[in-house]
Amino acid sequence: MSCFGGDPNFCPECGNILPLPGAQDCVVCRRCGFAIPVREFADQVIKSSVVFNPLEESTVAAESSEDSELKGPITDRRCSRCSKEGMVYHTRQMRSADEGQTVFFTCIHCRYQEKEDS
């Protein structure tokens, strides 16, 4: 009795993604070694699609720096200049890889910027 079931692209024993059938008689799970005969994959249709964004929506290069500084996740941090809540933040790796990232905050009200080293 299998622990997992339903989608034939996944191993019924461990749930790992199965490799594509090859020239062998069986498809063997790379994680647990469970083998499935290739004939069980007969008549299976695999479909894929690629969705492209319309040209007018992909204007990343045309954005001004003023607009881009206010894009991103908003946190409840209080601005030290205007004392209102709501700041957009982003992170950068400013120092070596074994040290923490620097977090940059921009107030959504007065656009004051501050940073915090973590």
Is 11 a known ligand-binding residue?
yes
Is 14 a known ligand-binding residue?
yes
DSSP string, 15-67: -PBPPPP-SSSEEE-TTT--EEEGGGGTT--------PPPTTT--STT--HHH
Is 82 a known ligand-binding residue?
yes
Is 26 a known ligand-binding residue?
no
Is 3 a known ligand-binding residue?
no
- State the binding site for Zn(2+): 11, 14, 29, 32, 79, 82, 107, 110
Binding residues: 11, 14, 29, 32, 79, 82, 107, 110
